[in-house]
């Protein structure tokens, strides 16, 4: 489906039933939620979804808060040979597959959607064992370990970048759909700045730099901003600084810097931003593309398959962003912020380049694909 195609709505005598496995970070959770929300629209509110996730990560709170049934699994990530949790990993995988199969047998889904990381693996295996169509969503340029293993079991694979095809064997190419990374409808490029200021409670009308480290924050970015507060107090721009809930900022924050542990309304924050400083997770790249915002990208160096560096390289190759390593943040971040904010033409060209990555209908297109490859069409 192209970005301009009208969605195909479906009416059936029974609800569309889905199992979605997503967790760990917002980068895995929110694309799944975006697809589920689009499925609700396409099925006229007749989509019944159960989410699978971990026992301890953010999805245990976030998914129930959004109103979806949630079932936890004991699966955890690999933490190295010397970690006691690694000894239990085979049991955790087996038990998680058993839980996922039980949910599938009870809910009888027409499809299973997974978004990667260790949460995806037992759900994907369970879908294959139960004969349920499996849709793998890969947001990053290069697939993660779980999605790589599940790809051969998948009915369809959704990727964000055309270049992602290079990471899959020729046999799987017909199953790959380059639709973009699903983003929730709260990210609206048409939102008025005046309304956005009201929603953010921002009374000043000044250029804005939005700084955040993802849903969990980023220590290197936070420390660089905290160390430069005196200099930032003289900046001709306003700083919206999301720290993450576990970071304690200094008390001497200047008036033109607003500190927030978490930004619930990212759509409004992006609307106000003239420059974004962030990690280079797939969801962030997708949101920056939809909003066409220039960025300073600081990849997470500990990502398991180096995916954030590869995401950033794809974007910076077009001139849409400036890439900076964690090691350079302390010395270079604030200087680069001042330099970019003083160059209106540079920001304009960066914005135009970033807009090429915008796929605002990715969630709807992925939802339509889920319906198309599911078993639901057999029961219409």
DSSP per-residue string spanning 189-247: TT--HHHHHHHHT----S-EEEE--STT--HHHHHHHHHTHHHHTT-SSEEEEE--TT-
Residue 76, both tokens: 């955890």
49 strand-pairing partners: 18
List the chain residues with pLDDT less than 50.
1-2, 379-380
Q: CB under 8 Å to 145, separation ≥6 — which residues?
A: 304, 305
Q: Tell me which DSSP letter residue 318 carries.
A: T
The pLDDT of residue 26:
79
CB 178 within 8 A of CB 159: yes
pLDDT at 11: 52
Neighbour tally for 20: CB within 10 Å: 28
Residues in CB range of 107: below 8 A, 6 or more apart? 17, 19, 48, 50
Structural tokens at position 246: 């576990």
Nearest-5° Cα angle at 122, 119 to 126: 140
pLDDT at 133: 98
* Strand blocks (E) in 32-180: 47-53, 70-72, 111-114, 134-138, 156-159, 176-178
- Domains of the chain in start order, with CATH, are 16-183+360-379 (3.40.50.2000), 193-355 (3.40.50.2000)
Running DSSP on this structure, what letter comes out for residue 38? H
Question: Which pLDDT tens digit goes with each residue over 197-249?
Answer: 999 988 878 999 999 986 555 889 999 999 999 999 999 999 999 998 888 88
Give me the pLDDT at residue 244, please. 87
pLDDT at residue number 132: 98
Sole residue written with tokens 């967790």: 23
132-151 pLDDT tens trace? 999 999 999 999 899 999 99
What is the Cα–Cα distance from 321 to 29, expressed in whole angstroms? 25
């Amino acid at each position: 489906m192209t970005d301009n195609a009208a969605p195909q709505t479906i009416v059936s005598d029974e609800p569309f039933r889905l199992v979605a496995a997503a967790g760990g970070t917002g980068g895995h959770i929110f694309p799944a939620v975006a697809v589920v929300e689009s499925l609700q629209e396409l099925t006229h509110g007749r989509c019944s979804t159960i989410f699978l996730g971990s026992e301890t990560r953010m999805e245990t709170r976030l998914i129930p808060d959004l109103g979806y049934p949630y079932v936890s699994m004991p699966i955890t990530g690999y933490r190295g040979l010397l970690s006691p949790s690694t000894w239990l990993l085979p049991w955790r995988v087996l038990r998680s597959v058993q839980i996922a199969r039980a949910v599938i047998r009870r809910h009888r889904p027409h499809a299973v959607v997974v978004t990667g990381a260790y949460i995806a693996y037992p759900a994907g295996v369970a879908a294959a064992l139960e004969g349920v169509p499996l849709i793998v969503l890969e947001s990053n340029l290069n697939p993660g370990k779980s999605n790589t293993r599940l790809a051969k079991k998948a009915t369809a694979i959704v990727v964000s970048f055309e270049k992602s095809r290079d990471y899959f064997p020729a046999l799987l190419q017909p199953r790959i759909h380059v639709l973009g990374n699903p983003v929730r409808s709260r990210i609206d490029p048409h939102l008025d700045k005046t309304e956005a200021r009201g929603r953010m409670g921002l009374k000043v009308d000044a250029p804005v730099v939005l700084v955040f480290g993802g849903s969990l924050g980023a220590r290197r970015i936070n420390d660089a901003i905290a160390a430069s507060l005196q200099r930032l107090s003289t900046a001709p721009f306003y700083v919206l600084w999301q720290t993450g809930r576990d970071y304690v900022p200094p008390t001497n924050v200047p008036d033109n810097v607003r500190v927030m542990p978490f930004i619930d309304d990212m759509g409004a924050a992006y609307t106000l931003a003239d420059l974004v400083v962030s990690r280079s997770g797939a969801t962030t790249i997708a949101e920056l593309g939809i909003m066409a915002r220039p960025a300073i990208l600081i990849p997470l160096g500990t990502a398991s398959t180096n995916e954030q560096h590869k995401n950033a390289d794809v974007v910076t190759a077009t001139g849409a962003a400036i890439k900076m390593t964690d090691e350079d943040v302390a010395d270079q971040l604030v200087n680069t912020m001042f330099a970019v904010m003083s160059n209106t033409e540079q920001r304009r060209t960066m914005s135009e380049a970033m807009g090429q990555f915008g796929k605002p209908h990715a969630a709807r297109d992925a939802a339509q694909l889920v319906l198309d490859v599911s078993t639901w069409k057999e029961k219409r």
